[in-house]
A and B are shown apart, each in its own frame.
Chain A
Amino acid sequence: MVTTFVATAGLRTGTLSPGRIGAVISRNIGPLRSGPAYWVVLVSGFFEPLFYLLSIGLGVGALVKNITLVDGSVLSYAQFVAPAMLATSAMNGAMAETTFNFFFKFKYIKTYDAMLATPVQPFEIAMGELIWAMIRGSLYTAVFLGIMVAMKLAAFGWAVAAFPATVLVGFAFGAVGMAFSTLMRGWQDFDLLTTAQFALFLFSGTFAPIENYPPAIQVIIECTPLYHAVGLVRDLATGVPDWATVGHAAYLVVMVVVGLWFTGRRLEAMLLK
């Protein structure tokens, strides 16, 4: 008998279709029309970093006054903290979609099972969901940048330059968050993720330059993702990009690629058995 199939060979991925990716994205527009519940979630994700900016940036800023960076430049404390809150906002916005919402669709309402019975392919689902997450994250950051300009925490030109950086931050954290979501066993695992996110938020050079920490801790921080997101956004928002800025961007690009690839593979392995 002719054996046409080899046990280990998976279903082959065909050409990616922008139309199908668009269809995956547009699936998420329906729930937006469904009433206020989703909007409450959407808006709440935005306020958290804003409150931190107001309480710590302005409150603590009144005590700290100015802050001198390693390169000798002097910033007000609020100017220092605001880009970090912006980067955090991009991270939170994207990850809210690709962790909680993604997991819910994946495990509970079986949205992706239904999609995969059509010509839509796993990698197209990963792409579509990530782009949607990025759109949501970008809404937050655009408004946040507007507030920074209004509060004179960033020049308009540099705020415009920082916007694509926040998009990249959203892509990077969205992709990695989605990859993690495919590994989650249940909601309890999300506690770990939330804790990790909060630790990153506190220590990634957000509220103080990392040069204040012991060298060993500095090295660890330099390996973590939000540090690079904050670095990239801060360099642009404060108007002092240099080669390190490119390094930060490269780190985030790797996150996008690895996160997407991993998610596609996991969806394939779990849904196309």
Chain B
Amino acid sequence: MTVQPLIHARGLVKRFGDFTAVAGIDLDVAPGEAFGFLGPNGAGKSSTMRMIGCVSTPTEGTLSILGMDPVRDGVKIRARLGVCPQLDNLDPDLTVAENLTTYARYFGLPRAEGRRRAAELLEFVQLSDRAESKVDPLSGGMKRRLTIARAMVNQPDLVLLDEPTTGLDPQARHLLWERLFRLKQQGVTLVLTTHYMDEAEQLCDRLVVMDAGRIVAEGSPRSLIETHSTREVVELRYGDTPLESLRGKLDGVGERIDVLPDRILLYADDGDAAVAEVHRRDLAPSSVLVRRSSLEDVFLNLTGRTLVD
């Protein structure tokens, strides 16, 4: 028996006037999955998320969320979604706890139930001690955790997270990832957008790489790296030397070469061997780094551009 997908899209298009934000994408997200959209700003991730969140009408194509039509059944679908938007829209007129209890009322939950869930969720996102505080004094990471708690107040079947850790410091990101991982373990279906490859690798079972409104690759983080990159990557820096002139001289070292403005990337299954070959050719760099291949490399390989410009 096949499980009905929570999100099912075929040929999904979103246009704003002449501008095409989403240019025909196919998607299926299964219950319990952690699914990611990876891509740079402007790739069409947020437009796709807004259509899934039933706050934006698809221009063309078919879209079904939780087995329902987002245009006709938007109210019913949104009742079962949890949304964490890219820009915080917490209510600064209300306290931390009131942000949750007020939100619970929009879903038709009785006041007592709203208070019970608010207390529970504040515990979960480690903000219980700030319950009576206003929102403004909270740090960026705390606000984002509160937004995630708010998204959970209706015990959603599907949680949409648009750039959940953008703008947060490393410590705050790790705490957030850890909380999201706990949700995933509880069986909550997560759909997130990100332009951080480490985030996609940490959280997603499966992801699509988006560029200019299209899906350019799909798979698990591991399989994407295996398919679209080599096992290791060597980063070479040469101080002020014009890098383009070195391209020819490095030809044949590793499987592929990318020349970026500030460094050269050599894709090779054995990084140390590649470095040895570079030295043998008398092209000793000012600095060298051998690392494992990441989704950043996958994206660069697929589009010829870096993720974070």
Contact = CB atoms under 8 A, between A and B. Distances in A.
Given A30-B94, A119-B79, A23 B10 contact: no
A11 to B, nearest CB: 5
A75 interface: no
A238 B226 CA distance: 86
Interface of A: 1-5, 7, 9-12, 14, 17, 19-20, 22-24, 26-27, 30-31, 34, 109-111, 113-121, 271-273
B87 interface: yes
Contacts of A22: 105
Contacts of B87: 110
A220 to B, nearest CB: 40
B39 interface: no
Q: Which 5 A-B pairs have the closest CB atoms?
A: A23-B105, A110-B89, A118-B106, A31-B93, A117-B83
Given A30-B95, A117-B81, A14 B61 contact: no
Contacts of B62: 2, 4
Contacts of B72: 12
B108 A19 contact: yes
A4 B59 CA distance: 9
A75 B74 CA distance: 57
Given A23-B106, A118-B103, A272-B55, A9 B79 contact: no
28 contacts: A1-B61, A5-B58, A5-B60, A11-B54, A12-B72, A12-B74, A19-B108, A20-B108, A23-B102, A23-B106, A34-B94, A109-B89, A109-B91, A111-B89, A111-B91, A114-B85, A116-B55, A117-B78, A117-B81, A117-B83, A118-B79, A118-B103, A118-B107, A119-B78, A119-B106, A119-B107, A120-B106, A121-B75
A27 B78 CA distance: 19
A119 B79 CA distance: 5
Given A23-B106, A27-B91, A119-B107, A4 B79 contact: no
A3 B107 CA distance: 32
Contact of B75 (A14, A19, A109): A14
B163 interface: no
Nearest to A1: B11
A82 B108 CA distance: 43
Contacts of A117: 53, 55, 78, 81, 83, 85
Contacts of A5: 57-61, 63, 71
Interface string B48-84: 0010011111111111000001111011101101010
B136 to A, nearest CB: 10
B92 to A, nearest CB: 6
Contacts of A17: 108
B98 interface: yes
A118 B107 CA distance: 7
Interface residues of B, number: 45
Contact of A113 (B57, B61, B89, B94): B89
Nearest to A115: B106
B10 A31 contact: no
A27 B102 contact: yes
A111 B75 CA distance: 18
A27 B92 CA distance: 12
Contacts of B134: 34
B91 A3 contact: no
B281 interface: no
Contacts of B11: 1
B85 A113 contact: yes
Which of A10, A11, A34 has its CB near the most chain B CB atoms (within 10 A)? A11
A118 to B, nearest CB: 4
B291 interface: no
A14 B106 contact: no
A119 B54 CA distance: 10
A17 B57 CA distance: 22
Contact of B74 (A14, A109, A111): A14
Contacts of B222: none
A118 B153 CA distance: 11
Contacts of B93: 30-31, 34, 109
Contacts of A20: 106, 108
Nearest to A15: B75
B78 to A, nearest CB: 5
Contacts of B95: 30
A168 to B, nearest CB: 28
